[in-house]
Amino acid sequence: MLNLDSRVKELVNKSENIVFFGGAGVSTESGIPDFRSENGLYQAQSQYGYAPEEMLSHTFFIKHTETFYDYYKKNMIYPDVKPNKAHYALAELEEKGKVKAIVTQNIDGLHQLAGSKNVYELHGSVLRNYCMQCHTFYDVSYIMKSENSAANDETGSQIPKCIKCGGLVKPDVVLYEEPLDQSVMAGAIGAISKADLLIVGGTSLVVYPASGLINYFRGNNLILINKSTTQYDRRANLVIHESIGEVLG
């Protein structure tokens, strides 16, 4: 049952084409830590000797694949997490015909798990993985199964390899140094440009090019929900520095 913040509810009620644009703050309320946080940075440096951004780069994936996967599986995949109140509220608003699209920077698939259908995943998803040679699809369980003999090479490493051709399996996530998927970007831009209400939540709007999407919004009402201030606060009709889960539902 929706229990929207009264300030948000007023704008939602008079809107017919709502788009939600979310970031890491939406997932942290489900228990997924933000790897860009101070704790995440410290943990990566102390355990691996590298910053998270370096380990999650295309170059590092190619040159240090085993270390990449060791960090990736421990810090980017959380198979037991569940959607939170924000995810479910947005899914319900989509079912009611209010929310037309969700644009997310997260890679956890929680919006879809909550029931949302029209989701633009700017940075891909940990739930999808592909062989870099023959493009065979593998789900996240294949990546996580360390006992899977097909994932072991002769050295005993746990690098996921393709059962069909032996090629390297790569997560369908956008690593640093890689461009965003242009078809996903085009869809997100199209949705945002048509919206009459844009709700931005759980993001500080500093990671480009994704944060630049807000500039395509031409509607009348902009809501920003984030625990800290953003560079776009002055442009919003409503700014709420609170938990997005509590605000939305």
The reply to whether omega before 179 is within 30° of 0 (cis) is: no
Among the options 58, 87, 111, 123, which is catalytic?
A: 123
Please give the structure tokens belonging to residue 12: 């939602």
The β-bridge relationship of strands 137-139 and 169-173 is: unpaired
Handedness of CA 102, 207, 56, 70 (dihedral sign): negative
Distance (Å, whole) CA 237 – CA 220:
9
Catalytic annotation on 123? Answer: yes
What's the rounded Cα separation, in Å, for the pair 3 and 9? 9
The secondary structure of 65-97 as a DSSP string is HHHHHHHHHHHT--TT----HHHHHHHHHHHTT
Q: Compute the distance between CA of residue 109 and CA of residue 137 in angstroms, rounded to an integer.
A: 16
Active-site residue list: 123
